[in-house]
Structure 1
Amino acid sequence: MSGASEKPGVLNGFEETVKDFWVSRPRRPHAGRKLAGVAAAIGYRYGIDPVVVRVALVVTTVFGGFGVPFYLLGWLFLPGESDEVSGFESLIGRGRSSVSPAFAVVLMVLTVVSAGGSITGSWFDGGGLISCALIAAALYLLHRARGHENRPAPVAARTSYPAFTGNGAFTMTDTAEAPSPARGWDPLAADPAGWDLPDAPPPPEPQPTPPPRASHHHGVQRGPRSKVGSATFALAVVTAGAGVLAGLNGATWFDAQHIVGLVLGVVGIGLVAGAFARGGRGLIGLAIPLAIVGLVLTTAPFKDFDVRGGLGDLKPTPHSPAELQAVYQHAAGDIRLDLTELPEGAPYATAVSNGAGDTTVIVPSNADVTFDCHTGAGETSCFGRSSDGVGEPALVGTDNGPDGPGGQKITLKVSNNVGNVEVRRD
């Protein structure tokens, strides 16, 4: 027994589904492609808007980096619309493809490099493996549900036939059709009516085109609207809120880039679910800006942006060692820390961490200050030393004041993500 399903269009088991997917792989079309036509091929094959597929690839690229190697794999293993086989199969001599053997080798190298980078260099821990699993699961479920629809017609293999050159010689020519027996001189002097030629295969039956969905504007009731988009948006908001609350309560893992990654993952799952429910296109408008924010947080020097510490301006002036905090932490707003009211005595040490905003620290005029000042993007000025720009190194050193060593010992560390930093004497 073959194990095939008795019902048309229904596949039994994982192995049968995978084999059927390979046999009826999407074909990269000539029209509607943006680069190689991988997204368009998947969209047309399974009845999904190619824009949704492209956004899903962007989401998986940002979320874990696997969108790029997946696209390269599709370019390598999905045949073109008029190709006999894929670029990889053509490389090993299985047939003809528009992808040249040299370019197929380039695609293989790029696939290996990008796949390794997505697994080892992902900004979201384990994101490469997660995005790979999501893509594989989505393709598997899509083929299980819609693999019987829009099956591509196979391209006939090109065959070599002998051709008479006119000077008594024969040559081998590659053509998709056998030469016509009624054309010119017959070297065998045979009756063309007696030739037993195989009948041409019947043309494939055209797939029925589903009727367009009518709307209220034409007086016809619209089909039920999918709730995938609304449910995904609500879940994304809840995920973002929960991540921010966890960060504010001391969970250090929930920084800005991880929260954006979680929300982007929720939106990506919603896009996949919307592909099955034929809805959720509105999530594209949410996925694109999230992807941009994720890229910025990943590559910018202030990627460790902290959401803890509250919002608004902060102006502490401690008057005793007990009032001096070990860390002054703020999410967004200006900080002005005045240390001039502290009594002289034992050494003091404090740190200031600000997410977005200007930070100013004022120390006593004769204090001996050991400092470490840094900002991800902005201007840093500490005791006459300064730097300005993005990603500049920290200003580190010791300043003993105009009277030289012998004053109050203060150890100070100031760290900003975005904004100006200034440390000065009163």
Structure 2
Amino acid sequence: MCPAGRTRILGGMSGATATNASGPPSGGFEHTVKDFWASRPRRPHRGRKVAGVAAAVGNRYGVDPVVVRVALVTATVFGGSGVLLYLLGWLFFPDESDEVAPAEGLLGRGHSSTSKGLTVVLCVAVFLSASWALTGTGWLDGGGLIGLALLVAAVYLLHRGRGHLRRPVAALAYQEGPGGTAFAVPLSAQATAPGWDPLGAAPLAWDLPDPNPEPPRPTEPAEPPEPRGRKSRIGVATFGLTLIVGAVGATLAANEGGWFTPAHVLGLMLGVLGIGMVTGAFVHGGRGLVWLAVPLSIAGLLLTSLPNDPFRGSFGPIKATPTTAEAVLPEYRTSVGTIDLDLRQLPADAEVSTTVATGAGTGTVYVPADADVTYTCSTTAGSANCLGSERSGLDTGPVEGEDLGDDGGPGGANITLDVSSSVGSVEVLRG
């Protein structure tokens, strides 16, 4: 037991930071990684949107948290690595009022305000997001691994350049009062050392100086404010370059197709925005780019979630009534609108195969009463009614089958159909 009125400093860390140090860390890769772990960002209570991971990184290295959030969202669109890194930060960055991070608290290494149940859920989510991000199942093969490598490299460079600033410092003390009562107090509350109490009595009973006083610790000077320079034009330059990339990509997508789909063009635009915003974090510019990055990220996420790039094609309704097999097109496609394809005028010996696809709208195909029809009908969100087989809901899977017509056997036109809609309904009906 410590004598009454004595104070013992705890080894834990709190949200307080030291704003000055000797300079950027020297040493190699291993030293930088160890120093990063020892001075990890701490998740603040103020300024957090979910768990405070982006705010923690921003506060630790003096970077706008908005830039960190946009980088994570962009990395999520480019393969899912943003979600993985956010969950890892939630698990291994301590809360500013806790002794240890949630993962360490789960192992019994100290107190964490995150419940063990939530920590286990986070561990499972990390495993699932890692499987998604690192298996290359997204639209950009290997995009998750590339995004993960870029973000890890960015954090490493941030720590190399700014790791000596805003370092967390010990800020809790363990004080024993009269009678052995123990309580924790902030280190800032102990502005002066208590007087020496040789009899262990109440602190107010004696007022004798400590016979072995500790020399006063030098106060570290505050980090000087960064000088104001000319306002950076990185935001305007990035905005202009993003529009140019979008315009060129849209032109190539409309004329040549191939790799240049709407989802890929949006990805290129987000890549330009991400580079500009990260650069702007160091030159104090480009904050307004977030208002362009957020809607583009949402649009990109929606496009990559829909199969087969459904919004490739014209706009408006399509109506066709071919009378010969040669007049039937291989594909009827519209981005937004309806498609009415009437095949009831085909001759009895016709043999045709076609695809009917709408991004948002209704696709309807009419077939002769005695035609032999092989069909595949699907919707991402909507309903399908194909020759009596019905299905509706969200991503319910395709309706597939073969129908030999009213005559119940082979005969009549031979028709193969693939009818799909991302948002809407599809029908195959006999006339």
Same structural fold, with TM-score higher than 0.5 when normalized by the shorter chain: yes
Residue 28 (structure 1) aligned to one of 43, 50, 56? 43
Q: Deviations over 1:236-282 (max 9, x none)?
A: 6525752673476352x555544444443333333222222322222
TM-score (norm 2): 0.73
CA distance in 1, matches of 2:372, 2:171: 85
* 2:138 is the counterpart of 1:120: no
Partners of 1:372 and 1:397 within 8 A in 2? no
Q: SS of the counterpart of 1:303?
A: coil
2:281 counterpart letter in structure 1: A
CA distance in 2, matches of 1:101, 1:371: 52
Give the corresponding residue for 1:238. 245
* 2:158 is the counterpart of 1:142: yes
CA distance in 2, matches of 1:372, 1:262: 34
Pair 280,110 (structure 1): closer, same or farther in 2 beyond 3 Å: same
State how 1:258-407 maps to structure 2 within 5 Å: 258-297=264-303, 299=305, 302-383=306-387, 386-392=390-396, 393-394=398-399, 396-401=401-406, 406-407=411-412
Partners of 1:226 and 1:278 within 8 A in 2? no
Q: SS of the counterpart of 1:420?
A: strand
CA distance in 2, matches of 1:69, 1:158: 35
Q: SS of the counterpart of 1:315?
A: strand
* 2:424 is the counterpart of 1:410: no
2:361 counterpart letter in structure 1: G
Q: Work out which structure has the larger RCO, using CA pairs closer than 8 Å and 6 or more positions apart in sequence.
A: 2
CA distance in 2, matches of 1:193, 1:403: 109
Pair 35,183 (structure 1): closer, same or farther in 2 beyond 3 Å: farther
Q: 1:42: how far off?
A: 1.8
State how 1:113-192 maps to structure 2 within 5 Å: 113-120=128-135, 123-124=138-139, 125-148=141-164, 150-155=165-170, 158=173, 165=179, 180-183=194-197, 185-186=199-200
CA distance in 1, matches of 2:210, 2:231: 62
CA distance in 2, matches of 1:358, 1:113: 35
User: How many residue pairs get matched?
Assistant: 399
Pair 128,321 (structure 1): closer, same or farther in 2 beyond 3 Å: same
Pair 343,397 (structure 1): closer, same or farther in 2 beyond 3 Å: closer
Give the corresponding residue for 1:64. 79
Q: 1:398: how far off?
A: 0.5
2:377 counterpart letter in structure 1: C
Pair 56,195 (structure 1): closer, same or farther in 2 beyond 3 Å: same
Report the aligned-residue RMSD. 4.2
1:296 counterpart letter in structure 2: L
Q: 1:39: how far off?
A: 1.8
Give unpaired runs (5+ residues) of structure 2: 1-21
CA distance in 2, matches of 1:80, 1:183: 37
CA distance in 2, matches of 1:105, 1:64: 24
1:208 counterpart letter in structure 2: P
CA distance in 1, matches of 2:243, 2:365: 39
1:224 counterpart letter in structure 2: K
Q: 1:155: how far off?
A: 0.9
CA distance in 2, matches of 1:22, 1:223: 35
CA distance in 2, matches of 1:293, 1:389: 22
Q: 1:181: how far off?
A: 4.5
Q: SS of the counterpart of 1:358?
A: strand
CA distance in 1, matches of 2:200, 2:224: 44
Partners of 1:228 and 1:280 within 8 A in 2? yes
Partners of 2:323 and 2:346 within 8 A in 1? yes
CA distance in 2, matches of 1:331, 1:115: 34
Partners of 1:374 and 1:416 within 8 A in 2? yes
1:74 counterpart letter in structure 2: G
CA distance in 2, matches of 1:424, 1:113: 42
1:185 counterpart letter in structure 2: L
Give the corresponding residue for 2:18. none
Q: SS of the counterpart of 1:142?
A: helix
Give unpaired runs (5+ residues) of structure 1: 1-6, 214-221
Pair 354,385 (structure 1): closer, same or farther in 2 beyond 3 Å: same
Partners of 2:195 and 2:207 within 8 A in 1? no
Identity of aligned residues (%): 46
1:139 counterpart letter in structure 2: V
CA distance in 2, matches of 1:147, 1:60: 23
Give the corresponding residue for 1:219. none
CA distance in 1, matches of 2:194, 2:26: 43
